[in-house]
Structure 1
Amino acid sequence: MQPEDIYKLRYPIGDFAYGSVFTPEQTQEHILAIETLPKKLTDLVGKWADDRLDTPYRPEGWTVRQVVHHIADSHINAYVRVKKALTEENPTISPYEEGDWANQADYTLTIAPSLVILSNLHLRWVTILKTLTTDQLQRTYYHPGSQRIFPVSEVIGLYAWHGEHHYQHIYQLALRNGWL
């Protein structure tokens, strides 16, 4: 497989543009993407059997099961980070090793708990996001792993991208395998 093919499998919607400034309209689109992800993901994988869930989305990539559990873990962290940014002055967040998390025993579970977590977490998260003022969208946190400050508006864009990025991993796998 050519490097450009691997890149397309890893980044089906391209890279996230860190440091981007988003318009209020773009932020509303990002919030809508976060809001609709749980249902969209559940509609795609909610009835899949283990053979599909245990299929890697690319060579040497995570399985669908791992991706679904990862989305839940990642978005839990994002939700907490946003709440910290809204309630503390530029807090330093705690990074985590997502690859190590993907090798924990809970990643072997059925995906149902993670789909339920995503549904309920996104309900709470979007409830907050829809009420943010312009000033609140500019509140920040510091990420020591990347050594940069993230405004909430960028975090919203990042996690709209993150959800679609992983959704497309699974969707493109389903297309390639004739599962749709």
Structure 2
Amino acid sequence: MDELRYPIGLFTYEGPYTPEQRTQLINNLALIPGQYQQAVEGLTEDLLEIPYREGGWTIRQVVHHVADSHMNGYIRTKLALTEANPTIKPYEEARWAELGDTFHTPIQESLNLLQHLHVRWANVFRSMQEADYQKTFFHPGSQQSVTLDHQLGNYDWHSRHHLAHIMSLRERMGW
């Protein structure tokens, strides 16, 4: 496995989670926006244009991607809570990372969005009952139904995965 591409490894669902594990995952979700803010602190516009690995996204693209992905994740969570196994709309994340807003929007906008979004998302997860974590949405890409328990673990991983991209680049570059 490519350490630069998957610095914390691939996601493995180890659920169903206990209530205590979920509390920790939700707390992680609530704290991650501040960790991204710290990770990019002091980086110039030129440094934001450096890819975290050869052939990978720039730091700018990573930050905007996390906001895009987590908005989709939040919506999917709410759909699963309000509909019976709804089919979600996949999106072409690599193509989204190439759209003009990625290159012309300051990353602080996505960092602010993440801060506010994660407050809402964490509050949704905190308000859920035990049975709600077994509610599902159908992902046509994988042809599988995904539980909200799995979704919580996956986005905890996703948050740390991309944060590790930024932090490992900073470490390698001595920033």
Q: TM-score, normalised by structure 1?
A: 0.93
Q: Which moved more, 1:40-49 or 1:7-16?
A: 40-49
- State the 1:20 CA deviation: 4.0
How many percent of aligned residue pairs carry the same amino acid? 45
Q: Partner letter of residue 7 of structure 2?
A: P
Find runs of 4+ consecutive structure 1 residues off by over 6 angstroms: none
1:63 aligns with 2:58: yes
- In the TM superposition, 1:42-81 aligns within 5 A as 42-81=37-76
8 Å CA contact 1:85, 1:139 repeated in 2: yes
**Correspondence for 1:15 among 10, 21, 43:** 10
Deviation (angstroms), 1:19: 7.1
For residue 100 of structure 2, what is the aligned residue in structure 1? 105
Question: Which segment is superposed worse, 13-22 or 47-56?
Answer: 13-22
Matched residue, 1:139 = 135
Is 1:31 the equivalent of 2:26? yes
Q: Amino acid of the residue matched to residue 59 of structure 1?
A: E
Indicate the SS of the match to 1:10: coil
The corresponding residue for 2:144 is 148
Distance 1:84 1:20 in 2: 21
Secondary structure of the equivalent of 1:149? strand
Q: Is the 8 A contact 2:139 2:145 kept in 1?
A: yes
Aligned positions, number: 174
8 Å CA contact 2:15, 2:149 repeated in 1: no
- The residue aligned with 1:90 is 85
CA contact (8 A) 1:69 1:111 kept: yes
Shift of 1:47: 3.4
CA contact (8 A) 1:46 1:112 kept: no
Matched position secondary structure for 2:113: helix
For structure 1, the 5+ residue unaligned runs are none
The CA distance in 1 between the partners of 2:14 and 2:25, in whole Å, is 16
Contact 2:36–2:163 at 8 Å: present in 1 too?
yes
**Structure-1 residue corresponding to 2:116:** 120
SS in 2 for 1:60: coil
Does 44-53 or 101-110 show the bigger shift? 44-53
SS at match of 1:164: helix
SS at match of 1:142: strand
What secondary structure, in the 3-state scheme, does the structure 2 residue paired with 1:150 have?
strand
The Cα of 1:10 is off from its aligned counterpart by 0.5
Aligned equivalents of 1:151, 1:90: Cα separation in 2:
9
